[in-house]
Amino acid sequence: MSDVLLDLERSSRIGFDEAIYSAGKTPAQIETILGLAIEAGTPRLFTRLTAEKFAALRPDYSAHLDYDPHSGTAMYGRHGKEDGPIRIAIVLAGTSDTSVGGEIYRTLEYYGHESLQITDVGVAGLWRLLDRLDELRKMDVLIVAAGMEGALPSVVGGLVPGVVIAVPTSVGYGVSEGGRVALNSALASCAPGIVTVNIDNGYGAACAALRIAGVARKHRAVVV
């Protein structure tokens, strides 16, 4: 157990608690962390938990988890539903991006935020995107996930006033294998004010949305 030292004050410092990145951890280490949460009665989110590793957990542990294999996320409990104020959209270029989309959706859900998911609006079929334009323009935060050439965040960024967070995905082959092209497209975007996170980092994009929600909530509170 000396391997694990949770960051228990993270929530008071930055506004939301620590999620557990499961990729490099053994099942035993995950059980230890989950056990601490169960004991303390506090919720806990696990990301990048593969089906194989989930299956390797002892059943008396895994039974406590709400697990979704497509997104690789598991929740032990969740936080209370936030009272807005911001509207968040998850915009996906293609069907292949839905696992990353799931990580975004479930992370937001864990921290008490609803979101709208729009799929298959990649730039090869531009009208599918333009058909949703009115809706997109009303959003406060648009988390836009795309792989391959990653043009979607740039196109969206030129059309809406909301905050656009690109999530490059590792969908692709040849030069785009691994997601570097999509990442660099987001960084080099000719549309101003687009920000990005690491490849496939749906969790990070959701956390950025949480920070923005916190800012909006703070100013609403001040004013009311």
Contact positions with its own copies (CB under 8 A) in 140-169: 140-141, 147-151, 154-155, 157-165, 168
Binding mask 65-84 for its own copies (x = CB under 8 A): -----x-------------x
Dihedral Cα 125, 126, 129, 130, nearest 10 deg:
-140
In the bound complex, what is the minimum distance in angstroms from residue 55's beta carbon to its own copies?
Answer: 18
Question: d(Cα 54, Cα 130) in Å, to the nearest integer?
Answer: 40
Q: Between residues 52 and 127, which has the closer beta carbon with respect to its own copies? A: 127
Q: Between residues 41 and 193, which has the closer beta carbon with respect to its own copies? A: 193
Q: Of 58, 66, 135, 219, which one interacts with its own copies (CB under 8 A)? A: 219
In the bound complex, what is the minimum distance in angstroms from residue 59's beta carbon to its own copies?
Answer: 23
In the bound complex, what is the minimum distance in angstroms from residue 2's beta carbon to its own copies?
Answer: 7
Dihedral Cα 124, 130, 136, 141, nearest 10 deg:
30
Question: d(Cα 140, Cα 115) in Å, to the nearest integer?
Answer: 11
- Residue 181 near its own copies by CB under 8 A: yes
Binding-site size, its own copies (CB under 8 A) = 112
Question: d(Cα 44, Cα 1) in Å, to the nearest integer?
Answer: 18
Binding mask 189-208 for its own copies (x = CB under 8 A): xxxxxxxxxxxxx-xxxxxx
> Which distant-in-sequence residues (6+ apart) come within 8 Å of 197 by Cβ?
165, 166, 167, 204, 205, 208
**If residue 90 lies in a helix (H) or strand (E), which one and from where to where?**
strand 88-92
- Residue 37 near its own copies by CB under 8 A: no
- Residue 109 near its own copies by CB under 8 A: no
Residue 200 — left, alpha, or beta (φ > 0 → left; ψ -120 to 50 → alpha)? left
Q: Between residues 11 and 60, which has the closer beta carbon with respect to its own copies? A: 11
Question: d(Cα 218, Cα 185) in Å, to the nearest integer?
Answer: 33
In the bound complex, what is the minimum distance in angstroms from residue 64's beta carbon to its own copies?
Answer: 20
Q: Between residues 115 and 162, which has the closer beta carbon with respect to its own copies? A: 162
Stretch that binds its own copies, among 24-32, 35-43, 58-66, 75-83 (CB under 8 A): 24-32
DSSP 145: E
> Which distant-in-sequence residues (6+ apart) come within 8 Å of 70 by Cβ?
98, 99, 102
Residues 39-68 that bind its own copies (CB under 8 A): 48
